[in-house]
Amino acid sequence: MRYLKINKYLFTIFFIILCSLSCTADSPLTSILFWDISNNSVVQSTGSSKGIKILTNQRLNLILNQEIDIFHKLALVNALGWEFNGKCEKNSKVFLQELKEQNALILKNSLLTNFKIINNNKDEPSPDNIKIVKRGFRLQNSRSTINTYSRLTGSNSNDLYLVYLYLLVMENYWDVPIILKELNDVYNNFELQTTIDPSTVEAFNLIKMLVSSQYSLVEKGVSHDVWDQYDSYLQEAHEQNIFINQILPIVNKYMLKYKVPN
């Protein structure tokens, strides 16, 4: 009898976990696929490939290319998809590590150049000094790492941070509340910035809507509140670029399942 009770208890736990995974497997973040809108060959090949998709050098180069529109970069993350099994290194971690290494390399080269100018090419900085520089970058948090890279290269820090947060939320559903708060904080700080690219604001609004819808699903389950998050986004959206105009029908088709019939 005790054995049967234990088995029943274990089955109940397994059922709850299975339902939880099913809920997250069909959700705004995982089920709304818009990568196919992008005409970028790297995005297309990534979305079409099977199995676990990692952030390769080619894909990293797309994200870090300043000439490529932010929406192609978001489409790449969308094409990478939802990864929850932990069999490989997290793409968000790979992304940050790449920025830290590039920051250290850029500053190392700058340190070498300036040192040689001051010393008339007679000497080089000690290996210890170079190690201190590298270690400093490795200890930076995610936002500081991205801001440093942006200052050193002239990249758009807001765009890169949005890509990072999107990578992060596609890896761990339990971080959704934290990432949603961070998205809101960053968005609210836009008003303090004198110049900001309109496409950056539109991109933030899009991802924030997907994450807030996901948050509603995780917190309240299948309910009309998921649709309300999307509807609120539509009410606040103004001028949309060509990418968003193509993405919205895909989003709308999925979100309709959460709408309360009139």
Overall average pLDDT of the 167-190 stretch? 88
Longest CA–CA span in the chain (Å) reads: 86
**What is the tens place of the pLDDT at every residue in 92-120?**
999 999 999 998 888 877 765 544 444 44
Helices (H), the chain: 2-25, 28-31, 41-48, 57-64, 70-80, 91-118, 127-138, 142-153, 157-169, 176-189, 198-220, 224-236, 242-255
Overall average pLDDT of the 159-178 stretch? 90
Report which of residues 248 and 82 the model is more confident about: 248
**What is the tens place of the pLDDT at every residue in 16-49?**
333 444 444 578 998 999 999 999 999 999 999 9
**DSSP string for residues in 127-139:** HHHHHHHHHHHHT
Q: Which residues contact 190 (CB under 8 A, 6 or more apart)?
A: 158, 196, 201, 204
Overall average pLDDT of the 47-60 stretch? 93
Specify the range with the lowest mean pLDDT, choosing from 203-217, 224-238, 243-257: 224-238
pLDDT of the residue at 66: 95
Per-residue tokens: 6: 């234990």
Domain-by-domain residue ranges, the chain?
28-258
Overall average pLDDT of the 66-70 stretch? 96
pTM for the model stands at 0.81
Share of the chain above pLDDT 70, in %: 75
Decide: 251 and 230 in contact? Cβ < 8 Å: yes
pLDDT of the residue at 180: 93
Backbone Cα Rg of the chain: 22
Q: Smallest Cα–Cα separation from 237: which of 222, 225, 247?
A: 247
- Mean of the per-residue pLDDT values of the chain: 81
Per-residue tokens: 51: 């199995």
pLDDT of the residue at 36: 95
Confidence label for 86 from pLDDT (cuts 50, 70 and 90):
low
Per-residue tokens: 101: 């290494």
